[in-house]
Amino acid sequence: MFEYAPAPESRDVVDIKPSYGLFVNGEFVDGSGSAFKTINPASEEKLAEIAAASAADVDLAVQAARKAFTTWSAMPGAERAKYLFRIARIIQERARELAVLESLDNGKPIRESRDVDLPLVAAHFFYYAGWADKLEYAGYGTRPLGVAGQVIPWNFPLLMLAWKIAPALACGNTVVLKPAETTPLTALLFAEICQQADLPPGVVNIVTGAGETGAAVVNHPDVDKVAFTGSTEVGRLIARSVAGTGKKVTLELGGKAANIVYEDAALDQAVEGIVNGIFFNQGHVCCAGSRLLVQESIAGELLASLKRRLGTLRMGDPLDKNTDIGAINSAAQLAKIRELSDMGEQEGAERWSPACAIPDRGFWFPPTIFTGVAQSHRIAREEIFGPVLSVLTFRTPGEAVEKANNTPFGLSAGVWTEKASLMLWTADRLRAGVVWSNTFNRFDPASPFGGYKESGYGREGGRHGLEAYLR
């Protein structure tokens, strides 16, 4: 293998302030909780001090959203669309800055934040801007719900914000959003973009903080709709706490997707899809293809190719444009990945990683494959949320489907075959919200996304995504 010269993206495009307040009623204000710091997970360097919102701060944000709702919901859809189009265009103009900031705060490679996250974020705002004046044709009515309380995770900070805010605003709702504790910076830059777009005060409010702030948003009595993306555990807590309150809820939770490769698949293409399925964003992806189900007849050949390919992945500085695998988002997440991987070995699976240098500072985990995995192993059942692939084999399509569905989750799945009839037969039997064929982790704002079983309920994206925000 030849050496690559470093290709660092410049940090100069971002101006990180030493400290940030909450964004309430169109202004940055102090929080009354105890401030916390956000760090760069690739270096453990402190990036900024972030205000924490107490229940009283959340209350002020909800009040601001409630007040703004009166005018925002009464505004003609075509007028709301103008704001959303304006926000989408500013996101495009400031895409480089947002991408660098996202990579600094999250640890994901700049190649992904620049080429995947940011284009999708802008596309989401453009897409829902287009719906704002056409709600009567969507089939879900035209009456907004009111104030939406939205809580998002750290794996796609700005993209999850777009998934939540764009449809809510298009339908005439106002929002109070809590970003994840470890990745608040792009949401705060988004708040500045709302100011730049002259969005009326109170339509978007951003309250930073930890889990208690999230709970204060979700449990606020004047919130009409709760939208959450995150772990199944917290999703369960939320479902329990809003039961009987009349709040409308959507939950996008965990996954343990099967990526099924049949013996007639185009193998090189499948290898790329497997890599994209589990090593994209360090595997911090709810719909990651974390269980590879490969037909026994080709297992040896496929694994040999996959291992060869993993040997070419470059792990390191997220801001280097040649980096494929960035940093794990937090020490806590790294500990969880280590624990489950150690468990995989203890339970008898065989672990393999390519030789790769681990940087001295920051949180890192090499791309890892487990073979000899049994269905009962924890690494085959639990969401690891890291760059760890569990490989299982099957002999018949029936067995593939049975194994794929043998999980408490049901968010996504992949099928690799050259035979359309087999692909459709399989897709028809998979209990998953999204089934990709001969591709993986492909997103489009026009396509709905969501799960079955413990992966949650409700759909985000597409025309279906409007339903969650209309009465």
* Interface residues toward ligand NDP, by CB under 6 A: 151-155, 178, 180-181, 210-211, 214-215, 218, 229-231, 234, 237-238, 253-254, 286, 333, 336, 383, 385
Cβ nearer to ligand NDP, comparing 67 with 381:
381
What is the nearest approach in angstroms of ligand NDP to the Cβ of residue 243?
Answer: 14
What is the nearest approach in angstroms of ligand NDP to the Cβ of residue 189?
Answer: 17
Closest by CA to 156, choosing from 463, 464, 449, 458, is: 449
291 CB-contact burial (10 Å; exposed 0-12 / middle 13-18 / buried 19+): buried
| DSSP reduced 3-state for 26 | coil
Asked if residues 317 and 323 have their Cβ atoms less than 8 Å apart, the reply is: yes
Asked if residues 409 and 453 have their Cβ atoms less than 8 Å apart, the reply is: yes
Alpha-carbon gap, residue 365 to 389, rounded angstroms: 13
Cβ nearer to ligand NDP, comparing 95 with 187:
187
Torsion of CA 210, 214, 220, 222, to 10 degrees: 120
Cβ nearer to ligand NDP, comparing 167 with 214:
214
Strands 350-352 and 291-295: unpaired
Strands 22-24 and 27-29: antiparallel
Closest by CA to 326, choosing from 113, 182, 134, is: 113
Q: Which residue is nearest to ligand NDP (CB)?
A: 214
Closest by CA to 225, choosing from 147, 143, 135, is: 147
Cβ nearer to ligand NDP, comparing 75 with 237:
237
Q: What angle do CA 3, 285, 457 make, to 5 degrees?
A: 170
Amino acid at 148: A
Catalytic residues, which ones? 252
Cβ nearer to ligand NDP, comparing 233 with 402:
233
What is the nearest approach in angstroms of ligand NDP to the Cβ of residue 273?
Answer: 20
What is the nearest approach in angstroms of ligand NDP to the Cβ of residue 15?
Answer: 24
What is the nearest approach in angstroms of ligand NDP to the Cβ of residue 169?
Answer: 20
